[in-house]
Each structure stands twice: as C-alpha cells, then as structure tokens.
Amino acid sequence: NAGVTQTPKFQVLKTGQSMTLQCAQDMNHEYMSWYRQDPGMGLRLIHYSVGAGITDQGEVPNGYNVSRSTTEDFPLRLLSAAPSQTSVYFCASSYGHANTGELFFGEGSRLTVL
Amino acid sequence: DAKTTQPPSMDCAEGRAANLPCNHSTISGNEYVYWYRQIHSQGPQYIIHGLKNNETNEMASLIITEDRKSSTLILPHATLRDTAVYYCIVISNRDDKIIFGKGTRLHILP
C-alpha cells in the first residue's frame, strides 16, 4: 500500500494561475479531506468528502474547488491563485466517516504563489 | 472553531514522562477525543483516541477525566524524536468536520 499520495510535492505559481493538487489513496477509504497549514500555524480544513460524489466545505473553502468522482481520488483545484494561498497542503483519508479511526495524511504539497 | 484548548508549548526532559493536557469542557456524550502529532513539516500522525475509558497503545496512554472535560496524553519515556506539535481534537459520530486547533509544541530537552 502506498497510503495517501500527493502530487506535486512542490509548486510555484504566479498570481492568477490555476492548478490542481492531486491526492490519491489506495486503502479504499470513504472519507477524504484537504487541509492547509501556514507557517507556524495549525491545520485548517478546506474541503472534505464522505464518499464518491459527496463533498462539503470546511473552515476555509474560498478560492478552492473539489470533486470526488472516484473513491481513490480527491483533487483540490485552485481557480485563480493568490499570494494568500501560499501554504503547505495536506490531504488525509480515513476508513468510513471521520470518527471511525485514524486519519492517514499525505506528505504535503508545498505551494508558493508569487 | 476548535473545541479544545491546549497550552502552546511545553518542555520535557529526555527519558521522563511527558504529560500533555487538553481541555474540552464542552464535549458531548457522542464525541471522541483524538490525539495526533506532527513532526517537523511532515503530515500529522495518529497517536490514540478514546471515548471515556483510559486507553493505552504502543505509543502513548490517554487519560480522560471522569467528567470527560479534560484529558492527558502521556508519553511514558520521552525521546528527542518525540519533539513535535501535538494536537488534541474531539470528533462526534455525526460531524465529519475534523477541526484541528494550534496544538502544543513539545520540546524534549537532552
């Protein structure tokens, strides 16, 4: 098992550009989520999904879109990147719903917006 | 908002037990207490969770007070590799929003 795989690991964007952060898991987990972590701060929930075809907003959803067409994949789209979106992004997954056990995290994607 | 309160930082001597407190005074009956840690800039790692009974695994022990309004994570013999940010969170069986607070930055001193 590869666990939770995030790509790319590093990305530099210019203001206004769009991009997609990829997240894939091979554990057949129903629950997936995206967090961002700014320097010296905790994690903030962007979006989450409890299964294919179902997504919902977290604490800081503005500027981001998600979709869940398959159980394995949960991409995060930045529509028009802004310097305020410079952050480390973590994808996580869990079997069943959020409270049914541990969250498995990816290694993170470090995004810089110039 | 996070439903827990943790001290921003703590120190512990290497080899001693590290006791990390967490206040969750508004916890409801169907909410679990979970602990995660984040070493440097890696993704957070699950440690342990519990509902009302004390729990122990190979990494740590979780002590939950009888009224469930607070808990303590115990690392029995702290090592330098335990230096990390520790997050205490509560999760209900109805809410799928997992909200992390700022956690406690634990420094293990040699």
> What tens digit of pLDDT does each residue of B7-64 get?
999 999 999 999 999 999 999 888 899 999 999 889 999 999 999 989 999 999 999 9
What is the average pLDDT score of chain A? 93
Which chain B residue has its CA at the smallest distance from A106's CA?
B43
Q: What are phi and psi of A113, to 5 degrees?
A: -115, 120
Q: CB B100 to CB A56 under 8 A? A: no
pLDDT at position B29: 86
The CB-side HSE value for B84 (13 A sphere, CA atoms) comes to 22
Nearest to A60 by CA among A28, A39, A33, A80: A33
Asked if A38 has any chain B CB less than 8 Å from its own CB, the reply is no
Long-range contacts from A56-62, C-beta under 8 angstroms, 24+ separation: A56/B96, A56/B97, A58/A33, A58/A34, A58/B97, A59/B97, A59/B99, A60/A36
Inter-chain residue contact B44 with A108, CB threshold 8 Å: no
CB-CB under 8 Å, A50 with B96: yes
CA B24 to chain centre: 11
Residue in A with minimal Cα distance to B92: A99
Cβ neighbourhood burial of B84 (10 Å; 0-12, 13-18, 19+): buried
Q: What is the DSSP letter of B109?
A: E
A113 in Cβ contact with A15 (< 8 Å): yes
pLDDT at A93: 94
Task: Inspect the interface and report whether the beta carbons of A90 and B43 lie closer than 8 Å.
Answer: yes
Q: How many CB atoms lie within 10 A of CB A67?
A: 16
Cα B51 to chain center, whole Å? 13
Whole-number Å distance between alpha carbons of A108 and A91: 7
Token pair recorded at residue A4: 């939770």
Give pLDDT tens digits for A37-74.
998 888 999 999 999 999 999 999 999 999 999 999 99
Inform me whether the pLDDT recorded for B94 exceeds 90: no
